[in-house]
A and B are shown apart, each in its own frame.
Chain A
Amino acid sequence: MSAYEAIILTIITASTPLLLAAIGELVVERSGVLNLGIEGMMVMGAVCGFAASYVTGSPWLGVLAAVLAGVATSLLFGFLTQSLMTNQVATGLAITLLGLGLSGLIGSGFVGLPGVKLTSVSIPWLTDLPYVGRLVFGQDPLVYVSVILTLGVAYVLKHTRVGLIIRAVGQNHHSAHALGYRVIAVRYACIAFGGATSGLAGAYLSLVYTPQWIENMTAGRGWIALALVVFSTWLPARLAAGAYLFGGVWILGLYAQGMGIGIPSQLLSSLPYVATILALVIISTNRRLSVINTPASLGQGFVPDR
């Protein structure tokens, strides 16, 4: 494996959990709900995925369990914010704390056990191609899932009626309600989708990235995913670029350390965040472009007026 292949593989592995969690959050925010509970859903997905795969021996059952755990946590968030009309920001933070604590409890019996790894895809002839073989045809299955999800979300949001309804609900929920669309049902569905992808991202961490369970495994990735959604101005293509930019700068910082360049490690650790902020500043210079995609009803609870 050549050095450049190894670099790109490592970057893809580092960026995929961010991309998975963020693409779901993008859909949720496009429908007008601000979900700050991604971190909690991710870590619940991680622990349930690890537990299920350890108990059954099959990593795919672990992935399924992770998705279900993410959906369950997000539906709790959905119930609180959509049916009981609680403040979305506070509820999201509460779900994060709940997820972190509950996952620690569930996972306490699983700490220190070696996990079952989701093996990479291997297509007989294509994977052995010289430069692109492993990168394009030899990835983990979940990397392909993340790519398909990104393309799918981009297509659905822009070119289908379902996407139009979601965007309408996010832009102006009162108008959408007046037109007869079921705002709360649409938001529930989007929240469940967001929970599923967050669970999937968590499963990636505990089944592919480091096949073990440790408390607080997500290490703040949920918050990074949340920031990436805003960074991307709610466009899936920019989201993918942002996720890979973040992962790329992080891995290249480690490379610089390994090469012996005399930059302090603390500075290199901060580079991904600095790069993201810089990119955001550049995007924001064009005010029209950055504001145009903001869902106008983001974070506002919907109370149907008669």
Chain B
Amino acid sequence: MNKLLKAAAGIVLASALSVSAIAADKLKVGFIYIGPPGDHGWTYQHDQGRQAIDAHFGDKVETVFVENVPEGPDAERTITRLARQGAGLIFTTSFGYMDPTMNVAAKFPDVKFEHATGYKRSDNVSTYGARFYEGRYVIGQIAAQMSKSGVAGYIGSFPIPEVVRGINSFLLGAQTVNPDFKLKVIWVNSWFDPGREADAAKVLISQGADIITQHTDSTAAVQVAEEQGVSAFGQASDMAPFAPNALLTSIIDNWADYYIARTQAVLDGSWVSTDTFGGMDANMVEMARTLICQQLSKREPKLLLKLLKQVSYIRLLALFISKTVA
């Protein structure tokens, strides 16, 4: 009886060790999303980054994601659950996950955390962000050129530093082209609420704005712009399918390269806590190559020359033109 028990225990132990050996080879990367990947906005681009990791690493890495996680205590619970399930690298993709990420990181010192658009770091927490304001500056200039009424409408989410920075960039960019350019801002106090965004867009248009831009994540605002015949800019990803005529361009966040690099760092064991803040030159911010851009660049080369002459941020614009014309 004793021998049988010892043999059984030996088999169980051997198989457990081999299973954990296999598990140790495969890195589990977790993602916490603030909204659904189908928002065709912020979360969509993060999910594109996640899919890029899958495509690049194949069997060596397994990705999981949790969507629609509200900022607050729910977030802390969800991040803890991911860490307990064996994730080695966790991306938390919204500003409001800052404190929950720091709290969970303190409890799991072996797990690496990447927090988007935050400012708190520790030994196992990195922060990363993209210089969206570069994109905002460019679309401000485009808006001032394209606008007939000289008024644009901006749908803001929360008055946090990143959003305010985007609004200021937009207006500064617009004012280099038209010093009297006006900007109306409506705060919807939500990252993702299509009903409110549609209401805000309608209100802005009726108050004289003929360019709508947003820092919220749904496509409702560009749809309203399409309906009412004004122009719009998309947020975080190319929203052209929702507004083929209205959409001038979108700022696209490209996370794929950064995510692949960080995952490789964890696999190599070279991961350290950093702060990354890349812009157009790091390819983290791109402009969407919409139909209208292509039509404009063919039909109105003078417009582009005018933009070139009026702008002191020449390198920036040259990059923009190279991405639309090329």
Query: Mask for A202-220, Cβ within 8 A of B = 1, else 0?
Result: 0001000111101101010
Q: Which residues of the other chain, A, contact B218 by a CB distance below 8 angstroms?
A: 210, 212, 214
Shortest distance from the beta carbon of B214 to any chain A beta carbon, whole Å: 13
Interface positions of B from 125 to 172, Cβ below 8 Å from A: 153
* Stretch in A190-198, A250-258, A296-304 touching the partner: A250-258
The docked-state distance in angstroms from the alpha carbon of A158 to that of B124 is 69
For the complex, is A83 an interface residue (Cβ under 8 Å from B)?
A: no
- Number of A residues with CB within 8 Å of any CB on chain B: 31
A111's partner among B36, B186, B207 (CB-CB below 8 A) is B36
Q: Which residues of the other chain, A, contact B187 by a CB distance below 8 angstroms?
A: 257, 265
For the complex, is A172 an interface residue (Cβ under 8 Å from B)?
A: no
Indicate if the CB atoms of A112 and B189 lie closer than 8 Å.
no
Q: Which residues of the other chain, A, contact B301 by a CB distance below 8 angstroms?
A: none
Shortest distance from the beta carbon of A256 to any chain B beta carbon, whole Å: 10
For the complex, is B223 an interface residue (Cβ under 8 Å from A)?
A: yes
Indicate if the CB atoms of A258 and B220 lie closer than 8 Å.
no
Main secondary structure of the interface of A (DSSP, over half): helix
Shortest distance from the beta carbon of B65 to any chain A beta carbon, whole Å: 14
Indicate if the CB atoms of A265 and B219 lie closer than 8 Å.
no
B189's partner among A1, A13, A217, A265 (CB-CB below 8 A) is A265
Q: Which residues of the other chain, A, contact B275 by a CB distance below 8 angstroms?
A: none
Residue in A closest to B207 when the chains form the complex, CB atoms: A258
* Stretch in B85-93, B197-205, B253-261 touching the partner: B197-205
B202's partner among A6, A215, A265 (CB-CB below 8 A) is A6
Interface positions of B from 5 to 34, Cβ below 8 Å from A: none
For the complex, is B40 an interface residue (Cβ under 8 Å from A)?
A: yes
Query: Mask for B177-208, Cβ within 8 A of A = 1, else 0?
Result: 00000001111110011111111101111110
Residue in B closest to A257 when the chains form the complex, CB atoms: B186
Indicate if the CB atoms of A112 and B203 lie closer than 8 Å.
no
For the complex, is A282 an interface residue (Cβ under 8 Å from B)?
A: no
Shortest distance from the beta carbon of A201 to any chain B beta carbon, whole Å: 12
A258's partner among B195, B204, B227 (CB-CB below 8 A) is B204
Choose among A212, A250, A266 the residue with the greatest number of B CB atoms under 10 Å from its CB: A212
The docked-state distance in angstroms from the alpha carbon of A3 to that of B202 is 11
Q: Which residues of the other chain, A, contact B223 by a CB distance below 8 angstroms?
A: 114, 210-212
Indicate if the CB atoms of A111 and B194 lie closer than 8 Å.
no
For the complex, is A139 an interface residue (Cβ under 8 Å from B)?
A: no
Q: Which residues of the other chain, A, contact B153 by a CB distance below 8 angstroms?
A: 258
Indicate if the CB atoms of B194 and A212 lie closer than 8 Å.
yes
Q: Which residues of the other chain, B, contact A211 by a CB distance below 8 angstroms?
A: 223
The docked-state distance in angstroms from the alpha carbon of A91 to that of B253 is 44
Q: Which residues of the other chain, B, contact A117 by a CB distance below 8 angstroms?
A: 227
Indicate if the CB atoms of A10 and B199 lie closer than 8 Å.
yes
Shortest distance from the beta carbon of B70 to any chain A beta carbon, whole Å: 11
The docked-state distance in angstroms from the alpha carbon of A265 to that of B38 is 28
For the complex, is B51 an interface residue (Cβ under 8 Å from A)?
A: no
Q: Which residues of the other chain, A, contact B204 by a CB distance below 8 angstroms?
A: 258
The docked-state distance in angstroms from the alpha carbon of A217 to that of B203 is 20
The docked-state distance in angstroms from the alpha carbon of A1 to that of B218 is 26
For the complex, is A14 an interface residue (Cβ under 8 Å from B)?
A: yes
B186's partner among A7, A209, A215, A265 (CB-CB below 8 A) is A265
Indicate if the CB atoms of A255 and B207 lie closer than 8 Å.
yes
Indicate if the CB atoms of B242 and A114 lie closer than 8 Å.
yes
Q: Which residues of the other chain, B, contact A13 by a CB distance below 8 angstroms?
A: 202
Shortest distance from the beta carbon of A4 to any chain B beta carbon, whole Å: 9
Q: Which residues of the other chain, A, contact B40 by a CB distance below 8 angstroms?
A: 112
Q: Which residues of the other chain, B, contact A111 by a CB distance below 8 angstroms?
A: 36-39
Choose among A209, A214, A250, A265 the residue with the greatest number of B CB atoms under 10 Å from its CB: A214
For the complex, is A260 an interface residue (Cβ under 8 Å from B)?
A: yes
The docked-state distance in angstroms from the alpha carbon of A26 to that of B64 is 45
Query: Mask for B276-289, Cβ within 8 A of A = 1, else 0?
Result: 00000000000000
Further pairs besides A210-B223, A265-B187, A266-B189: 5, Cβ < 8 Å = A13-B202, A112-B44, A212-B219, A257-B185, A265-B188
Would you mind naming 8 contact pairs between A and B with Cβ atoms under 8 Å apart? A1-B206, A112-B38, A117-B227, A212-B218, A214-B192, A251-B199, A258-B186, A258-B204
